[in-house]
Amino acid sequence: MSSERTSSSSSGSYELCKGINGLDKVLLRDARGSSAEVYLYGGHVTSWKNEHGEELFFLSSKAIFKPPKAIRGGIPICFPQFANLGTLESHGFARNRFWSIDNSPPPFPTNTSNKAFVDLILKPSEDDMKIWPHSFEFRLRVALGPGGDLMLTSRIRNTNVDGKPFSFTFAYHTYFSVSDISEVRVEGLETLDYLDNLQKRERFTEQGDALTFESEFDRIYLSTPTKIAILDHEKKRTFVLRKDGLPDAVVWNPWDKKAKAMSDFGDDEYKHMLCVEGAAIEKPITLKPGEEWKGRLELSTVPSSYCSGQLDPRKVLQGS
């Protein structure tokens, strides 16, 4: 049932096959054994595995792979609206649309050693234009690096012919798999201002030396660094996010009550996930016709170890 594509100058090496409920998905594989899966529905990365075959993303056991419901887990793309910050349905519509494989994307500077990649494209339908009356081309490249790093590059272009600019907010709503949320720390957001979604988006300043989790957590950190680390004590693994064009970072865990209220989320699954999302929310992106915005996310893992009871993430955050 699957058709194999081979590497060429314009399109990466990937396999197109059928996923859950017969939905089309793209499989990316690295020579060392790491892999990623991308559903054309939503342009949605649902799986990222390291060379040992360990799943690095959280995907709910109750995720519903049936349009128009968004897939719960992996990396839903929030566009052209984050959450309910506007008139559209929550998180916009890009995650509920069928994307197409783009076999001749316009060139952009990229690491030529990434042979496992796929280019997807989303353009608005007539129905989309009724709810958000703007013409755009959203190109997404998902690439697997030689070391198993996962890279997502979004390029959004205003193709309006009426001369009108448009504005949007955006997030890569990434669900990381963690062993135990109470044993997780997030480094890199210390002393920053954030909007607390649990307190009507009131603005506060982060006081702690690292983020830890013992109850529901839903914040938008502002003017964040290009690098953020998620340290999983039990797995002795650190996720490193590097981002470009994405000044904000959303950190979310629904905790027990919200988890129980979500039909596509297991009651206890909040213990094993954390969303840390590269985003552009506080200051919406505005594009004039012909202008293009680029937002890039690179995810990698490094081993981490405790030293006298404290993690030493400075090495991670200050490293390359």
Instruction: Establish whether 15 is a catalytic residue.
Output: no
**Strand 248-253 and strand 273-287: pairing?**
antiparallel
Contact 77, 45 (CB under 8 A): no
Contact 141, 110 (CB under 8 A): yes
- Spot the catalytic one: 44, 91, 134, 173: 173
Going along 31-83, which residue ranges are E strands?
A: 35-39, 44-49, 77-78
Contact 119, 11 (CB under 8 A): yes
Q: Return the H-helix or E-strand segment holding 186.
A: strand 184-187
Instruction: Establish whether 173 is a catalytic residue.
Output: yes
Angstrom distance (rounded) from CA 145 to CA 115 = 8
Angstrom distance (rounded) from CA 267 to CA 69 = 19
Beta-bridge mates of residue 101: 120
DSSP per-residue codes, 210-261: SB--SS-EEEEE-S--SEEEEEETTTTEEEEEEEES--EEEEEE-HHHHHHH
- Spot the catalytic one: 37, 187, 269, 277: 277
Question: Identity (one letter) of the amino acid at 64?
Answer: I
Q: Which residues are designated catalytic?
A: 173, 277
